[in-house]
Structure 1
Amino acid sequence: MIYFYNLLLLILCYLSEINSARILGIIPTPSISHQIVYRPIWKELSQRGHKVTVLTTDPINDSSLKNLTEIDLSFSYDLYNNKHNFSDKIDKLAGKPLEMVNAIITMNADICDEQLKHPKVKRLINDPNEHFDVILVEILQPCMFAFAHRFKAASIGVVSMDAQSAAYDSVVNPTHPILNPDFMLPLAGKLSFFERVFSVVISNVMRVYEFLFIIPINDKVIRENFGDDYPSCKDFIQYLDMLFVNVHPILSGIRPNVPAVVNIGAGLHIQSPKSLPEDLKSFLDNAPSDVIYFSLGSNVKSKDIIPSTRQIITETFAELPYTILWKFEADSLPNQPKNVKIMKWLPQQDVLRHPKIKLFITQAGHQSIEEAIFSHVPMVVMPFFADQEGNAKRIVLKDIAVKVDHKELTKESFKSSILEVMENKKYRENVKKLAELLQDEPMTGLEKAVWWTEHVIRHKGAKHYRSAAIEMPFYEYFLLDVIGFLLLVLFIVIYVSVKMSKLVFKVIFKLCGGEKPKFKRH
């Protein structure tokens, strides 16, 4: 009997090994908001028996996950914060989308180059015995798609927010510039005429910019680190098997998706409730009033906003009849009001769940918005860069937030916005209804991400969901040849009709005696 059980155990282990796959995850962006979205995916895939290797700037470091290997790229934060000083550029380049994109692309390419030169990453690239069945790559970093070519593996593009138009283009997903403006543009809802013009022009300028600048700078990084014989990253991206987008259509806007696009939002990164640190719990429990939570996220730091804006914020807080909990990254806050408590770091999801929190003042990052919605907390949004302006406009249209402009902030406007949300019940009622809608789904985002990843593994890719439009030249896709042909036919018909009319007129003229018809003048 013992022999039988041992044999059965060996058979089960063997079958498990057969059904497991080797998965490579690459999330190179040095920002915790980008990393936390994928952690549940790595955990679930590894717990299902797959061997998962992840290149990440923020390792989980969980020894219980035996099938998960992490390559620590946390040194990238030094490049982000010091070499490129991106936090400072956020304020300087506000309202300049193309310059902001240029700064992001240049920085990302430099970071990618340094990450590929990391000893453990180079060992991975050069190991002739290494292989992977599928690679999940953050699509914001095109240079990293060279790993798909290196390992001849199926590839899935992933993005922690909405995808840029170029990403949707890679799987030939419809990208209507009026109905679905690029997520980097400060547009949402029904656009005015000039907003429509702006969206159409900038969307196409960004496509040209990608071809002339983004692709070449990433190709240079690829050939320096993988070899001169490597194809362009554009070729890798165009052969994506799938694209996982961490948005929910109710939040991001309804758009038609090809089967290769899988929406894995909303709330993928939301964790189970945990107890707050004792000092923080005591502060919130004993607060003499309702509490407003203020955080500008991980990329925009409160300590770096310009002094005049920070002064307006502190003066406004001092006049409010509420307690303020402020994520402030420095040791002290100049002119700190008595009703304000600062902390360098906070467990945001659990802070938002506390019953005393009645308002969240946020930069409108995608993950922060989802955390507030799932905690039923309305918002005052203060966007700074990238997708934040568009995110802010979308949730204002949902009546769960009020937007303020940090560049034109006044004490009066800031205070009235805060009081509007705090005192008007509609915002809290609407955010609760929205949370219920987002959660009324047949599958969670995590379940969809894992199921479709394993689908790609089982079938060695997902070319069966590949749109036929990928193989079309642009003139066929945009019907230019058909339109040209129809215009030519129309021209010929009109030309022949005119000629025939003249001929008929001449015949009638001759039959009438050759005299031109005379008309009496009145």
Structure 2
Amino acid sequence: MKFALAFLFFLVYNVQSAKILGVFPIPAPSHYILGSRLMRALAEKGHDVTVINPFGEKNPPKNGKYKDILLTGFKEMADERRKQQSFFERDVSNPFLTLGSMNAMVLEMTELTLNHTNFKKFINSKEIFDVVIVEQFMNEALKALAPHFKAPLITLSTVGANAWVNLLEGNPAPPSYVPHVILSYSSNMSFYERTVNSLMSVYTQLLNQFYVFPKHGELVKKYFPNAPPLDDIIYNTSIVLINSHQSTNQPVPYVPNMIEIGGFHVKPPQKLPKDIQEFLDGAKNGVIYFSLGSNIHSSQLPPEKRDAFLKTFSKLEQKVLWKWEEDVLPGQPPNVKLGKWLPQQDILAHPNVKLFITHGGLLSTTETIYHGKPVLAIPIFGDQKLNAKNIYNNGFGLYLYYEDLTEENLTKKLNELLSNPKYARNAKKRSEIFHDRLVKPIDTAIYWVEYVIRHGGAPHLKVAAIGLPWYKYLLFDVIVFVSVIIVFLVFMLFKCVKIVAALSCHKQKKEKLKNH
């Protein structure tokens, strides 16, 4: 019976090999991992896939077709910038300035993409595509590829729902309980936090309307002279694939064309390298896994911060597996093993791993939830503070802000996490929520991409909010109208009372005169 239903599902919903373009130009491994996972899965399903990216696929899928349009030089440029200024040296204390600099950086990256030799050669070819998938990351001009190839547009939000996605899809995001992605707030905000969050929401919209969108509109006119206006492009997204889930993100509203696929990049554990397997197997007291992700290099830690880790780790009975990008770690304790690159998902799957020290990136947070491991988050930038707060609020970990990182504070946090069993219990519970789904998230993503292809777009999923001017969406005209009516009625009531009072006073005067 199950086989018959599965075969019927295949007959109804299968899409014959389609031509799919993926656009993932950000030279950050964490962003590419998500784009690559989706595009590889589509190719393995039998589709003809082309991917614009800075990394290139070393082992392309064997099923279907897979082609890279390589943005040569992007990765090297990002590496050079990291050498010149590490993430530890960047000032992210002012979120308003941080947001502005992020938009400027991505604007520059977008034009470098549009002006790249391989990109221009590609768009001048006579290729035809059934759908275009673009990473949603403040790079609006790249969405002009959809009308250029006369194909529906899908976007992939690698950091979940955020101010940029919500604006373009008409998704409600009340600042009273939905924190901005670059703020470190939870849904339960204080008055001060709600004030800052509201100001940040307004600032983001103003920045988009008066800076980001006009600048990207200029890029569209320059590189796609026959394209429609930018507004007609960016508000015409068929669906948005959202890298979030109730187990990893706090619950927020979603309009129908926003599809949650959080955790779609996670794969079942693979065999570990021999030396790592032996190190983990031989850890009688367990292992702490320490990694600050692919963008942040722990080898660039300032000496005082690095020493805080070294002194703390040297006192532990547990072993420590540390992603360290250099050959040598000065003062390395005997219980610490280093690795320039480590298979994170497979390590977290090992039963002897008792704790994960992470920067709190969304991918790392998702992977630790998948495997049910407690966390100590040390957020540095971006959405990491928001993720760290979610980890703490959901009870499966603690956080320690980088600026507060000392041997004393680190030791205190680790001792609490290792000695209190509630964190491990909550991590396992969170993992159960992650896995309790009708369909695997990668299958959900494939289904909806094919859905858009089958229907030639999905305008029936869009809410009317995206076509409303701001004053209608916020009911500003209605509020003004009702306010005027109320003021008028109050004014008339006041006048009536005044007239009645005057008549009463006049009547009293007449009676007094009469009596005299």
Q: Name the TM-score, length of structure 2 as normaliser.
A: 0.91
| Structure 1 position 431, deviation (Å) | 0.5
Report the 3-state secondary structure (helix = DSSP H, G, I; strand = E; otherwise coil) of the residue aligned with 2:485.
helix
Contact between 1:87 and 1:301, CA under 8 Å: does it hold in 2? Answer: no
* Structure 2: distance between partners of 1:283 and 1:447: 35
1:456 aligns with 2:464: no
Which runs of 5 or more residues in structure 1 are unaligned?
A: 1-14, 518-522
Which shifted more, 478-487 or 16-25? 16-25
Q: Equivalent of 2:350, from 354, 362, 366? A: 354
Contact between 1:87 and 1:300, CA under 8 Å: does it hold in 2? Answer: no
Report the 3-state secondary structure (helix = DSSP H, G, I; strand = E; otherwise coil) of the residue aligned with 1:249.
coil
Aligned length: 500
Change (3 A) 1:233 1:86: farther
1:203 counterpart letter in structure 2: S
Contact between 1:243 and 1:262, CA under 8 Å: does it hold in 2? Answer: yes
Contact between 2:47 and 2:64, CA under 8 Å: does it hold in 1? Answer: no
Q: Equivalent of 2:123, from 107, 122, 125? A: 125
Match of 1:36 in 2: 33
| % identical equivalent positions | 33
Report the 3-state secondary structure (helix = DSSP H, G, I; strand = E; otherwise coil) of the residue aligned with 1:252.
coil
Change (3 A) 1:516 1:501: farther
| Structure 1 position 62, deviation (Å) | 1.8
| Structure 1 position 81, deviation (Å) | 2.1
Match of 2:5 in 1: none
Q: Equivalent of 1:151, from 149, 156, 166? A: 149
Contact between 1:133 and 1:153, CA under 8 Å: does it hold in 2? Answer: yes
Match of 2:98 in 1: 100
* Structure 2: distance between partners of 1:34 and 1:294: 21
Which shifted more, 364-373 or 17-26? 17-26
Contact between 1:30 and 1:74, CA under 8 Å: does it hold in 2? Answer: no
1:140-175 CA distance string (max 9 Å, x none):
022211211211221111112223212111010001
Which shifted more, 384-393 or 332-341? 332-341
* Structure 2: distance between partners of 1:509 and 1:360: 82
1:415 counterpart letter in structure 2: T
Alignment of 1:53-92 (within 5 A): 53-60=50-57, 61-62=59-60, 64-73=62-71, 75-83=73-81, 88-89=86-87, 91-92=89-90
| Structure 1 position 393, deviation (Å) | 0.4
2:86 counterpart letter in structure 1: D
Report the 3-state secondary structure (helix = DSSP H, G, I; strand = E; otherwise coil) of the residue aligned with 1:130.
coil
1:487 aligns with 2:483: yes
1:136 counterpart letter in structure 2: I
Q: Equivalent of 2:272, from 268, 276, 284? A: 276
Q: Equivalent of 2:48, from 48, 51, 58? A: 51
* Structure 2: distance between partners of 1:110 and 1:80: 13
Which shifted more, 418-427 or 58-67? 58-67
| Structure 1 position 342, deviation (Å) | 1.1
Q: Equivalent of 1:324, from 320, 327, 330? A: 320
* Structure 1: distance between partners of 2:506 and 2:206: 61
Match of 1:248 in 2: 245
1:447 aligns with 2:443: yes
* Structure 1: distance between partners of 2:496 and 2:98: 60
* Structure 1: distance between partners of 2:217 and 2:465: 25
1:239 aligns with 2:236: yes
* Structure 2: distance between partners of 1:53 and 1:345: 28
Contact between 1:16 and 1:49, CA under 8 Å: does it hold in 2? Answer: no
Match of 2:20 in 1: 23
2:240 counterpart letter in structure 1: L
| Structure 1 position 500, deviation (Å) | 2.2
* Structure 1: distance between partners of 2:404 and 2:60: 45
Which runs of 5 or more residues in structure 2 are unaligned?
A: 1-11
| Structure 1 position 17, deviation (Å) | 11
Change (3 A) 1:138 1:416: same
* Structure 2: distance between partners of 1:118 and 1:388: 31
1:152-211 CA distance string (max 9 Å, x none):
221111112223212111010001112111111111131111111111111211221222
* Structure 2: distance between partners of 1:104 and 1:502: 60
Q: Equivalent of 1:401, from 378, 391, 397? A: 397
Q: Name the TM-score, length of structure 1 as normaliser.
A: 0.90
C-alpha RMSD of matched pairs (Å): 2.3
Alignment of 1:84-483 (within 5 A): 88-89=86-87, 91-127=89-125, 129-140=126-137, 141-227=139-225, 230-231=227-228, 233-265=230-262, 267-483=263-479
